[in-house]
Amino acid sequence: MIEEHDELLNEDEGSQETITKVTGMYKEWFLDYASYVILERAVPAIEDGFKPVQRRIMHSMKDLDDGRYNKVANIVGHTMQYHPHGDASIADAMVQIGQKDLLIDTQGNWGNILTGDRAAASRYIEARLSKFALDVVYNPKITEWQASYDGRRKEPINLPVMFPLLLAQGGEGIAVGLSTKILPHNFIELIDASVKHLKGKRFTLLPDFPTAGIADFTNYNDGLRGGKVRVRAQISQRDKNTLVITEIPYGTTTSSLIDSILKANDKGKIKIKKIEDNTAANVEILIHLPSGLSPDKTIDALYAFTSCETSISPLGCVIEDNKPYFVGVTEMLRRSTDNTVQLLKSELEIKLGEFEEQWHFASLERIFIENRIYRDIEEEETWDGVINAIDKGLQPHIKHLKRKITVEDITRLTEIRIKRISKFDIDKAQQKIDALEDQIAEVKHHLANLIDYAIAYFERLKKEYGEGKERKTEIRIFDDVDATKVVIRNTKLYVNREEGFIGTSLRRDEYVCDCSDIDDIIVFTKEGKMMVTKVDSKTFIGKNIIHVAVFKKKDKRTIYNMIYRDGKSGPSYVKRFAVTSMTRDREYDLTNGSKGSVLWYFSANPNGEAEVVTIMLRQVGSIKKLKWDLDFADILIKGRASKGNQVTKYAIKRVELKEKGVSTLKPRKIWFDDTVQRLNVDGRGELIGEFRGEDRLLVINQSGVVKTIIPELTTHFDSDMIVLEKWIPKKPISAIYYDGEKERYYVKRFIIEQEGREESFISDHSDSQLEIVSTDWRPMVEVEFTKERGKDRKPNMEVNLEEFISIKGITALGNQLTKDKINQINLLEALPYEAPEEVHADELEVVDEETVSENLQAEGSKTDTKQKSNSASQEDDDDIDVDDTGQAKLF
């Protein structure tokens, strides 16, 4: 720490010295340093989108440009005349510009943004300006210049860039106390947005990354501070045990991505067998999975626990008038487009001035030669006499000129050679003047219609340079991945029922299930107590544990059935309830709260099953009925704190399970949300149908692949999916496809016989393609034929596919549709058909989980079944959701 001193005056031999406080010096120095880094190194200018080093590189490349490639080392050396820093920083900046494939035409190994491999040394690689850069970046006539750092050369203050270059390339920099992160945007979309702005229309800009991938721009916030972009890798399933990553998130490389996957595997978050990196020109990372592992859950786990999903926080900061300026991408594009219009105006004005000067001198030259004014100077002996003689000779002929004649004009006339005068052609001279007048008129028209001229300029850029620059990043809204649903079970849970302990370290005790270290565990004891607690090595719950499972958050389908005695000698009650949420580590009493209460019977039912149990009473007094059956299907599902229905006021000897039950819950409604491409039970999107345990989804892809799957909410769907509906096993599928080998259209109808298997129903020739597919009972199609030369077009043909071909096997070739050439096939409205009603084996009286019947059948007993229950409020917490299967417990 530097101590502050007061000013000290020392008198020595008549001199006086002043010691200044160091604090003030450091404040000024730091501010100077911070300002220098912000303005001269890290943050791009809004005028041309370049940082100083980038601008100097581009200026140097223009200096050296002769159409041929230059060694990068040579360009770096030349740039050092303008940039007062080391060659390494210049070379790195140049490689970054080159990798964006817009301004620099590269040759050699310039590195790989996909793998993260560095470029070769600057002495081995070459570069030259691209045609696009030469077109939009340079124009010395409208460039403002300043002296270089050593005063020996001139460098541009800003390059006259006539394109939103900063948004196309993106920009990132960290200064002192300030940073910027402008994400790259699509070339074509930027031009379209500029045109819309010039037409006074609204526009929206979203980033487009060179590494492609999938991105959710919901919270992009126009690229301002506080926004966020979520980017995901493109992951697909190659087969049941292999996943393939073909696109990676922006800001990652294949190496960093693989490292994050291996790290998640080591921590037990995901489970993989091995991983292969086959990346070359395109990304290909193969992830091999162990047998029996769900590919869909693994994809979600990759998004949840690895760099397959990343979050990017944009920050739009640029330099304007030598000050940092925070601005959104919409305003950046407006500023850039308006700046382009002004540059085009300046360019046109300069061009107009040049044309008018050419017209002025061409007119003077014609007057000078045509009227033989050059003869007037033959007798003049002085230079002033020559000038005056020519001026006097011109005066009668210059009324149509647009400006006065100057001494410089006359001097130029004296420089015309005799040879040119002798070969002067009046007609050609007039043609030249006429052509100049046309050019002047054209430029004036452009200046009068400047916006239309600018729009045409942008459209020309799009036409000439837009090919191959289509959007790479897919825009999609993401469904959040619940980590607890996709985490791999990486540890084992044990229980000591008598002593009341659960945990992962009790290896000598009873094994319960596999779990993850982020799961919550729900525990029930014989005294009717319940608790949810975090997985730990050893946790005390309470003695006489009867049920342990992984807790499932907001689970309305897992129903707990229970019979308990109230107090030491009170009546017994029956209740059914779900546990959707609660406070962690809090003990809940599921009985009426009386001391000495105990459970007679308990079961956990993952799909709301309602079993039948036998109640047996103790022989006390004159009880006539000592045994009867109780069906849990007759009990209303209430809150966990409800008292329940009275079973009997007499002492129960025991309760036995008589018959396992079926689900008392309604079939589950499932929707498909096309926005996020996921199934859900929350009512978002299109209703697919109501599903019971055995029901499946029918999925058909454009590639001619059909499969039936269990409707799990974690399922991922291919981008070429064209049919998604509830599968009816006896309902035929009709298809028309083009066979690439036979070059004919074929019709087939088939029924899926092997559920759960992925099968192709078109031929495997590379040119084969699916034309029409229908899941209607009686589909109709219209065939439009190709017109043959010299003949009338055949009338369209309507085909009833049910009558055209009978149902065959899925591998059958089918029947040829027609021998004539087909132009188009259209699917018409299907014929009416009354589909048979679905009959399920478990089609019993299905009881709604919200309104279960309260009837209690206690045959012949004198039990009081008067209902006395209250639904208790349930307290929410950040609970965990994992599947579980319950088993009945008898006491």
What residues have CB less than 8 Å from 881, skipping those under 6 apart? 482, 484, 485, 551, 552, 553, 554, 555
124 is catalytic: yes
Name the strand (E) or helix (H) holding 337. helix 329-370
Name the strand (E) or helix (H) holding 400. none
Question: Which ranges in 504-573 belong to alpha helices (H)?
Answer: none
Question: Do the Cβ atoms of 46 and 320 come closer than 8 Å?
Answer: yes
Quickly tell me which residue has 């009997």 as its tokens: 648
Of 444, 442, 360, 357, the residue nearest 400 (C-alpha): 360
- Alpha carbons 99 and 210: distance in angstroms, whole number: 10
Q: What are phi and psi of 192, to 5 degrees?
A: -60, -40
Q: Quick one: tokens of 310? A: 């990343």
Q: Quick one: tokens of 282? A: 């395109």
Name the strand (E) or helix (H) holding 318. strand 317-320
- Alpha carbons 82 and 94: distance in angstroms, whole number: 14
Dihedral of the alpha carbons of 384, 389, 394, 395, in degrees to the nearest 10? 90
Question: Which ranges in 768-851 belong to alpha helices (H)?
Answer: 801-804
What count of Cα atoms within 13 Å lies in the side-chain half-sphere of residue 215? 27
Question: Do the Cβ atoms of 179 and 173 come closer than 8 Å?
Answer: yes
Task: Tally the residues of the chain.
Answer: 891
Quickly tell me which residue has 């209902």 as its tokens: 867
Question: Do the Cβ atoms of 713 and 679 come closer than 8 Å?
Answer: yes
Question: Do the Cβ atoms of 774 and 827 come closer than 8 Å?
Answer: yes
- Alpha carbons 774 and 732: distance in angstroms, whole number: 9
- Alpha carbons 760 and 90: distance in angstroms, whole number: 55
Q: What are phi and psi of 746, to 5 degrees?
A: -125, 150
- Alpha carbons 722 and 762: distance in angstroms, whole number: 15
Name the strand (E) or helix (H) holding 701. strand 697-701
The single residue of 26, 33, 36, 124 carrying the catalytic annotation is 124
Dihedral of the alpha carbons of 845, 848, 852, 857, in degrees to the nearest 10? 20
Sheet containing strand 769-774, edge to edge, reads 769-774, 733-739, 744-750, 815-816
Pairing of strands 744-750, 815-816: antiparallel
What residues have CB less than 8 Å from 9, skipping those under 6 apart? 16, 17, 18
Question: Do the Cβ atoms of 243 and 233 come closer than 8 Å?
Answer: no
Of 740, 737, 757, the residue nearest 749 (C-alpha): 737
Residue/partner pairs of 262-267 with CB below 8 Å, 24 or more apart: 263/306, 264/301, 264/302, 264/305, 264/306, 267/305, 267/490
Q: What are phi and psi of 375, to 5 degrees?
A: -75, -20
Question: Do the Cβ atoms of 164 and 49 come closer than 8 Å?
Answer: yes
Question: Which ranges in 587-741 belong to alpha helices (H)?
Answer: none
Of 320, 363, 352, 324, the residue nearest 339 (C-alpha): 320
Of 124, 223, 111, the residue nearest 166 (C-alpha): 223
Quote the radius of gyration of the chain (alpha carbons, Å).
42
Query: Where in the sequence numbering do the catalytic residues fall?
Result: 124
